[in-house]
Amino acid sequence: LNLKNMGAKVFIGHSKENVHGADVVVYSSAVKEDNPEIIEAKKLSIPVIPRGEMLAELMRFKYGIAIAGSHGKTTTTSMVGSILGKTGYDPTVVIGGKLEAYGSNAKLGRGDFLVAEADESDGSFLRLSPTIVSINNIDLEHVGYYRNLDDIKKAFIKFANKVPFYGAVALNIDDKNVKDILPKIEKKVIKFGIENKDADINAYELELVNGTYRFKVNDLGQIHLSVPGKHNVYNALTAVAIADELGIPFCVVKETLENFKNASRRFEIKYDGNIKVIDDYAHHPSELKATICAAKDKYPDRRIITVFQPHRYTRLHSLFNQFAESFGNSDTVIITDIYSAGEKPIENISAEKLTEKIKEKGKEVYFAKYLSDVENMLKEMIKEGDVVLILGAGNITQVAEKLAKYLEGINA
C-alpha cells in the first residue's frame, strides 16, 4: 500500500510482462535464475542486479550504518533506526522484517543516515561501504555459500575493514567468534559486552523485572528494555555503542529502547489471553535457544510448548546435533516437516530423525508432517496458562495466525 501511494506499480505474482518498460530489475537472494522476470529482463537487455548491489548504491550517497552478525540484525537495525528518528535525523532504514513503527520493512527518510541490515548469507554485504559497522555475533550458518566457520570469519573481517579511517566498528566481545576476529580489525573499534572489564560500552547489574531485563550502562544510566531475552540486551548495547559514537544523548537512547516495539515475527505476541501465542523467525540453534529462554524469563511458571519448522536441508544437516540440543527450556516440542526453501532433500536428513534425536534427550516431542496436523495437535494439547512458541523462517507463521484466530473465536 505504501509503495502504491508513492506511485509504484505493484504486481502480485511473477510474469515476464511485469518487467516491460523497466530500467533495471533488482532481485533478492531468494529469487532463482529461472524466474520468468529475470529471464525476460536479460532477453530485453535490461540490467539485472542483486539487491545487495542496489543497497550499496543507495548507501554510497548516505552516511551508512550497517548492522551485521549472524543473529539479531533486524531488531538491532530497528533499534538504531528508531533512535536516529527520535533524535530528528529522519534516517532511511532498510530491515528484514516489518517494523511496527513504520508499518513496513523500510522507511525512506530525508536525512543523511541510512541504516541497513548487512546480509552475509551470500557475501553481498561486501558490496556495502558503510561508515559504521556493528557485529553482534558470528555463527556457523549459510553453509550453502561458506565452506566453514573460518570462511565466515574472514568475510566479516573483510567487511569490517571496509570502514573508512573516520568510521568505527562496534564489536560484541562476549561472543567468542567475534572476539577471535578482533585482532584483525584495522579500524577504530568500540567494544561492548555484559560485565566485561575490556568493554568500552559495558552493561552491569542485570536483573529481570516483570520478565524483561533492566541494567546499567557504564556511568550513563539505567535501561529497562520493553522486549524480553538476554539476547536483546546485546542488541540494545549495539545500539548504545552506535549512538554514543554519533554523540546522541543517552536520555534519547534510554527513552527509545524502553518504548521499543519489536519487528514482525520477533517475539511477536499473536494472542495475549490466558494462553499466549508467540510467533518468531528463529531458525538457527542459537536463535531457538535465545527465544525459548526469553519465553522462560517472561513466563517462568508456565508450560512452554515449542513448535519448530526446520528451514533448509543444508542447515539441518550441518547443525543437526545443535538443533537437537536447542529445546532445553521447552516442556513440550512439536517438529514439523522441513521447509526446503527450494533445496533438494539430503539423504538421512529429515524432521523425523530430528524428532528422534530430541526424544533421546528425554524431551516430550512429537512429529507433525503437515501444518494442519500441528494445528489439530495444538487444539487438543493446549490448556490455560500455556505459552505456545511458533518458530521458523518458513510458512509456519500460518499456524500462529490460525491458532490465534481459533483462540479468539472460543473466547469471544
Neighbours of 244 (CB within 10 A): 21
Contact 237, 137 (CB under 8 A): no
CA distance 192 to 212: 20
Strand extents, DSSP E, 136-175: 168-172
Sign of CA dihedral 30, 128, 117, 204: positive
Grid cell 544523548 is found at 249
b/e per residue 21-50 (b: at least 16 CB within 10 A): ebeebbbeeeeeeebebbebbeeeebebeb
Contact 278, 227 (CB under 8 A): no
Residue from 275, 283, 290 nearest 308 by CA: 283
- Show contacts of 283-286: CB within 8 Å, 24+ apart: 283/310, 283/311, 283/315, 283/391, 283/392, 283/393, 283/394, 284/70, 284/71, 284/139, 284/141, 284/315, 284/319, 285/319, 285/322, 285/323, 285/325, 285/326, 286/70, 286/71, 286/137, 286/139
Grid cell 514439523 is found at 336
Phi, psi values for residue 12, rounded to 5°: -100, 120
**Structure-derived torsion over alpha carbons of residues 376, 381, 386, 387, reported in degrees to the nearest 10:** -40
Q: Which amino acids are annotated catalytic?
A: 73-74, 117
Neighbours of 347 (CB within 10 A): 7
Amino acid of residue 5: N
Amino acid of residue 212: T
